[in-house]
């Protein structure tokens, strides 16, 4: 299995275009370890998710093979709070350095300059390698970038899937112009774009049909899956990462689903197939 890689922002770091998300994750260490072995060595977690400890368990003994991303809560953005949250995350993860530390949500009650001063301090002390944001609008990204004095913002983690394409209007073009990687979370729209997953575990076919009965896109998705010999989930993920600068971080609780997600890379949808999906799932 081959997972294609993409550059992280303007850095020289290359990351898999399919990573491992851990929001609402209940799978334990093994699916994460399996994903890393398959080449999906980017694991994303957060203070809010309460999964940093299981990520730490998963990477034990293989830390040098894994790129760890985590996030500070939007309610912990004062200077000392950021530093304290990072130290707690480091302890839970059981590591000496966080590869990508992200501001989880913007907080208008705290000056972004104060938050970013703390983030840059963490890079200076070697506790963090790279700085990112999450759920930031174009205006919020502009403010955050203007507050930086030493280090760049390399990424913005936002919701993005065939069903939720709003970032294509402004956030995605802005990130592409400014060499900021987009980390797409819930790229399978909470499983609703995976009606026939390889494991049969995301949604039962009957339930999936009911959930998507009013969405004409399911027929297109299934048709392209048949054409490519892939699953609908793999088609949906491949569409997502077909956009320059976009990395998808789906969550899966089982070995089979992890393998299925990893199998979304290493091949390409045709331009005609991409056009059909764009037409069926409009922005």
**Structure tokens of 41?**
């060595």
Count other Cβ atoms within 10 Å, centred on residue 200: 11
Q: Partners of 102 in the beta sheet?
A: 71, 132
In terms of Cα–Cα distance, which of 135, 252, 220, 129 is closest to 184?
135
Q: What size, in residues, is the chain?
A: 283
Whole-angstrom distance, CA of residue 154 vs CA of residue 182: 9
**Token pair in block for residue 129:** 């390698």
Residues assigned a catalytic role: 49
Distances (CA, A) of 95 to 34, 98, 143, 231: 20, 7, 31, 36
Task: Give the Cα separation of 32 and 120 in Å (integer).
Answer: 29
CA dihedral 232, 188, 17, 50 (to 10 degrees): -140
Helix (H) or strand (E) segment spanning residue 67: strand 67-72
DSSP states of 147-162 as a string?
H-SSS-EEEEEEE-BT
């Amino acid at each position: 299995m081959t997972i294609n890689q993409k550059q992280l922002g303007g850095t020289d770091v290359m990351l898999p275009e399919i990573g491992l998300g851990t929001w609402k994750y209940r799978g334990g260490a093994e699916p994460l370890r399996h994903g890393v072995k398959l080449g999906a060595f980017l694991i994303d977690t957060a203070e809010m998710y309460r999964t940093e400890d299981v990520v730490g368990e998963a990477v034990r003994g293989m830390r040098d093979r894994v790129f760890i991303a985590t996030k500070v809560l939007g309610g912990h953005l004062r200077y000392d709070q950021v530093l304290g949250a990072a130290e707690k995350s480091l302890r839970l993860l059981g590591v000496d350095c966080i590869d990508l530390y992200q501001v989880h949500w913007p907080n208008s009650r705290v000056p972004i300059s104060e938050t970013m001063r703390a983030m840059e301090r963490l890079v200076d002390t070697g506790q963090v390698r790279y700085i990112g944001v999450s759920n930031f609008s174009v205006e919020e990204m502009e403010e955050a970038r203007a507050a930086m004095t030493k280090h760049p913002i390399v990424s913005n983690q936002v919701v993005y899937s065939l069903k939720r394409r709003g970032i294509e209007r402004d956030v995605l073009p802005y990130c592409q112009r400014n060499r900021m990687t987009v980390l797409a979370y819930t790229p399978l729209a909470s499983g609703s774009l995976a009606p026939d997953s390889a494991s049969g575990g995301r949604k039962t076919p009957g339930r999936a049909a009911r959930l998507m009965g009013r969405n004409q896109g399911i027929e297109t998705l299934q048709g392209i899956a048949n054409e490519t010999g892939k699953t609908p989930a793999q088609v949906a993920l491949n569409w997502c990462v077909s956009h320059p600068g976009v990395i998808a971080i789906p969550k899966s609780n089982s070995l089979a689903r992890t393998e299925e997600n990893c199998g979304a890379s290493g091949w390409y949808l045709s331009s005609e197939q991409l056009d059909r999906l764009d037409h069926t799932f409009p922005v």
